[in-house]
Amino acid sequence: MMEFKHEPIDLGYNDLTAQTSRSGRVYTDPDGNTYPSITTVLSILSEEAIQRWRARVGEEEANRISKQASTRGTTVHNIFEKYVNNDPDYLKGVMPHNIQTFKDAQKTLDESITKVYCQEAPLYSKHLGVAGRVDCVGQWNGVDSIIDYKTSKKLKKKEWISGYFMQCAAYAIMWEERTGMPMKQLVVFVAGDEGTQVFIEDRDNWTKELINTINEYKRRKLFGR
């Protein structure tokens, strides 16, 4: 088993409390301030497309597919987290199809993650007014990076995943605000049925679009749409 190098960085707090409702997830920071989760904010980018898809396939089938995808995503994330944490039981109780997804991704993880600062860290930004939980912060091929894990049935095209890059850019800004440590490289690692993909971007390429999306989310909340 690969042994990943860990150099933990203290955020100055243990966790953020979170509440989830039909309108999304809200985090509370140590001072009692509340922030919408970055995934809730970015969900406005796909609202209309999801509504059209649900109307096309029907509510029952849409719920089934969504639950299946969510369960798989959570399971694969947990495998990656345990594996990178050097937990020898990282595959305990895991179904064969999810083990195969991990096996397909394992070589890339082994070769690329060269240092780990944290995993599943709760972050928030007073500047952006959002919060979230980042999959991994560390070094990807020796470069300090925000590393985000995704699962997919099909291969992705880069132009389809702008929301992923904005999510990572938000984590990068939150991380620098909390630690003072700049984090410019964004890595989206997609583990899928058709193979694994790695997309690398620069935080500064996505900051403007991220801020515009956050402002649009706030506008919709203020005016009801």
What is residue 2's predicted lDDT score, i.e. its pLDDT? Answer: 83
Residue 12, domain member (yes or no)? no
> What pTM was computed for the model?
0.91
Contact predicate 199/187, CB 8 Å: yes
Residue 185, domain member (yes or no)? yes
Query: Tell me, what CATH number does 75's domain have?
Result: 3.90.320
- Higher local confidence (pLDDT), 153 or 186: 186
Contact predicate 105/191, CB 8 Å: yes
Q: Count the domains in the chain.
A: 1
Q: Is the pLDDT of residue 48 over 90?
A: no
Residues 6+ apart with CB under 8 A from 136: 80, 81, 84, 113, 116, 118, 119, 146, 147, 148, 149
pLDDT band at 62 (very low <50, low <70, confident <90, very high): very low
Q: Is the pLDDT of residue 71 over 80?
A: no
Residue 11, domain member (yes or no)? no
Mean pLDDT of 196-219: 96
Contact predicate 142/114, CB 8 Å: yes
Distance separating alpha carbons of residues 4 and 116, to the nearest angstrom: 7
Residue 3, domain member (yes or no)? no
- pLDDT tens digits for 108-149? 999 999 999 999 999 999 999 999 999 999 999 999 999 999
Residue 9, domain member (yes or no)? no
Structural domain span for residue 66: 17-223
Residue 66, domain member (yes or no)? yes
What is residue 125's predicted lDDT score, i.e. its pLDDT? Answer: 98
Strand duo 34-36 + 113-125: pairing: unpaired
Residue 108, domain member (yes or no)? yes
- pLDDT tens digits for 33-42? 999 999 999 9
